[in-house]
Amino acid sequence: MPRPLEEQKVIQSAVKEKDELIVDGMDISGHWNRMFGQRVIFDYSVEYLEKVAALDGGESLGWCYGCAKCTGVCPIDIVGDYSPRKIHRRTQTGVDLFTSEDLWLCTTCMNCLRVCPKEVDMIQIMPAVRERAVLDGSVPDELQKAFEDTAKFGNPLGQPQRKRAAWAKNAEVPVPIMACLNGDGPADVLWYVGSYPSYHPRGIDASLAAARIFNALGVNFAILGKEEKDDGDTQRLAGETGLFEMLAEHNIEVFNKYEWGTLVVTGPHEYNAFNNEYSKLGFERPVLHYTQFLAERLHDLKPLLKESVEARVTFHDPCYLGRHNGEYDAPRELLRAIPGLELVEMGRCRENGYCCGGGGGGMWLDSFTQDHTRMRLSERRVREAVEYEADILAVCCPFEVSRFEDAAKSTGNDQLKVLDILELLDHSMQGGKR
């Protein structure tokens, strides 16, 4: 039975006055007898918490009241020791987030914000603190290299700008370039290809597939070629705001230079950038992720899908297409349209989908994060796909193909194929010739 209030007060008073205390025959001497007293909340400095909360965008870290709902859904905590709640606690106990390695582990996946009753927003907090760290020169080396390559070459892979459209030579179908249309009229679709689909070998595979699909559907499209530069949104989330603004200004100028109807993008990060960030700089035009664009044309696409894909396929929801922008159905509609394909959902899917680890600068921080996690996020996701007995892990983000293929190898799950939805559609459309 609970002790009467007056008796509790007597015990609290006794605890304060005596180093040794026996109550009801029980020795309650020692520091743990504080359970009978008021909780001391002034033992901790809030200096480092207030340092974060003082930033524009950092205010909400101070709203945390420690419920820890975020910890249960944080993809990093599943393979490490991390969550907004833990960040909040560490800033209360002497950790300066501006110089802590914790600053670079968040992938801005947004799953914490989805469940947070106080709306502690790491999508605002982390870029704000990282921006200050970047200005102070406190940046992991591999991330700094990605920044420098993007500034110098227009892409984080450090590839020549003049070769941005070189992949199109192997498409075996026309891939028009805006600057070369020669008065043939405006393009209905401006296809923003993106950096990884332009340069990375596995990204190029998806680009070639997209070009063939667009041609088969009779889409009047064109690309920007060497005039296109990286969208810069991932660099912004990693703290390089100035670089983002430079890239955005360039791309918006090029977009406005030509006549076109709809902007179609290959990647979710570009979709987020053009819809939500470029609009703040005055760019407001229709933007679709390729899965949305093709899902709207399923009536015309289905007759082209001739080859049966006899495989058990699971789909990984990209954070920046799903949680950030609410698109879950278009990719699944395309997968279900492929003959013979069996679609199976993993436990973490849709709103609670896992993260590949590439967002928020994580794409360029694998060597850094390996010292802070038991395994890469991509490796955990691959193991989950295998647990569901999938033959193919389907994706629709250019970051994910290479990440998951590497993870399949490093975890000994080489039998799991990782394919972009574009590749699966192209395979069915070509009658299995590719």
pLDDT at 21: 66
Which residues partner with 394 through β-bridges?
315, 419
With 70 as the cut, is the pLDDT of residue 395 above it? Answer: yes
Nearest to 358 by CA among 267, 255, 228, 287: 267
Would you say residue 105 has pLDDT above 90? yes
- Closest alpha carbon to 70 in 123, 32, 40, 112: 112
- Range name among 20-34, 105-119, 172-186, 419-433 with the lowest pLDDT average: 20-34
What pLDDT digit, counting tens, does each position of 184-210 carry?
Answer: 668 999 999 999 999 999 999 999 999
Q: Given a cut of 80, is residue 27 above it in pLDDT?
A: no
**229 pLDDT exceeds 50?**
yes
Mean pLDDT over residues 29-36, rounded?
A: 58
Mean pLDDT of the chain: 91
- Span(s) in the chain for CATH 3.40.50: 153-295
* pLDDT level of residue 46 (50, 70, 90 thresholds): confident
pLDDT at 186: 86
pLDDT of residue 17: 47
Q: Between these two residues, 192 and 3, which has the higher pLDDT value?
A: 192
Instruction: Tell me which of 1.10.3470, 3.40.190, 3.30.70, 3.40.50 is the CATH number of domain 153-295.
Output: 3.40.50
Distance of CA 93 to the CA centre of its chain: 29
* Share of residues in the chain with pLDDT > 90 (%): 84
Task: Determine the pLDDT at residue 179.
Answer: 85
Exposure string of 288-313, with b = 16+ CB inside 10 Å and e = fewer, is bbbbbbbbeeeeebeeebebebebeb
pLDDT given at position 34: 56
Residue in the structure block whose two tokens are 């390695």: 101
Of the pLDDT bands very low, low, confident and very high (cuts 50, 70, 90), residue 401 is very high
Q: Which is more confidently placed, 195 or 46?
A: 195
pLDDT given at position 188? 94
pLDDT for the residue numbered 35: 56
pTM: 0.87
Of the given ranges (11-25, 78-92, 108-122), which has the lowest mean pLDDT? 11-25
For 242-255, the pLDDT digits (tens) are 999 999 999 999 99
pLDDT at 394 over 80: yes
Q: How many residues does the chain have?
A: 434
Task: Check whether 11 has a pLDDT greater than 70.
Answer: no
Residue at token pair 């709207």: 296
Q: What is the arithmetic mean of pLDDT over 29-55?
A: 72
Nearest-angstrom CA–CA distance, 71 and 215? 46
pLDDT tens figures, 142-166: 999 999 999 999 999 999 999 999 9
State the pLDDT confidence band at 40, using cuts at 50, 70 and 90.
low
For residue 411, pLDDT over 50 is answered with yes
3-state helix/strand/coil string of the chain = CCCCHHHHHHHHHHHHHCCCCEECCEECCCHHHHHHCCCCCCCCCCHHHHHHHCCCCCHHHHHCCCCCHHHHHCHHHHHCCCCHHHHHHHHHCCCCCCCCHHHHCCCCCCHHHHHCCCCCCHHHHHHHHHHHHHHCCCCCHHHHHHHHHHHHHCCCCCCCHHHCCHHHHHCCCCCCEHHHCCCCCCEEEEEECCHHHHHCHHHHHHHHHHHHHHHHCCCCEEECHHHCCCCCHHHHHCCCHHHHHHHHHHHHHHHHHCCEEEEEECCHHHHHHHHHHHHHHCCCCCEEEHHHHHHCCHHHHHHHCCCCCCEEEEECCCCCCCCCCCCCHHHHHHHHCCCCEEECCCCCCHHHCCCCCCHHHHHHCHHHHCCCCCCCHHHHHHHHHHHCCCCEEEECCHHHHHHHHHHHHHCCCCCCEEEEHHHHHHHHHCCCCC
Residue-level pLDDT at 1: 47
Q: Which pair of structure tokens corresponds to residue 79?
A: 């393979």
pLDDT tens profile 319-375? 999 999 999 999 999 999 999 999 999 999 999 999 999 999 999 999 999 999 999
Q: What is the per-residue pLDDT for 31?
A: 57
Q: Give the integer Cα–Cα distance in Å for 273 and 205.
A: 23
Look up residue 422 and give its amino acid.
Answer: L
pLDDT at 181 (0 to 100): 76
d(CA 86, CA 143): 24
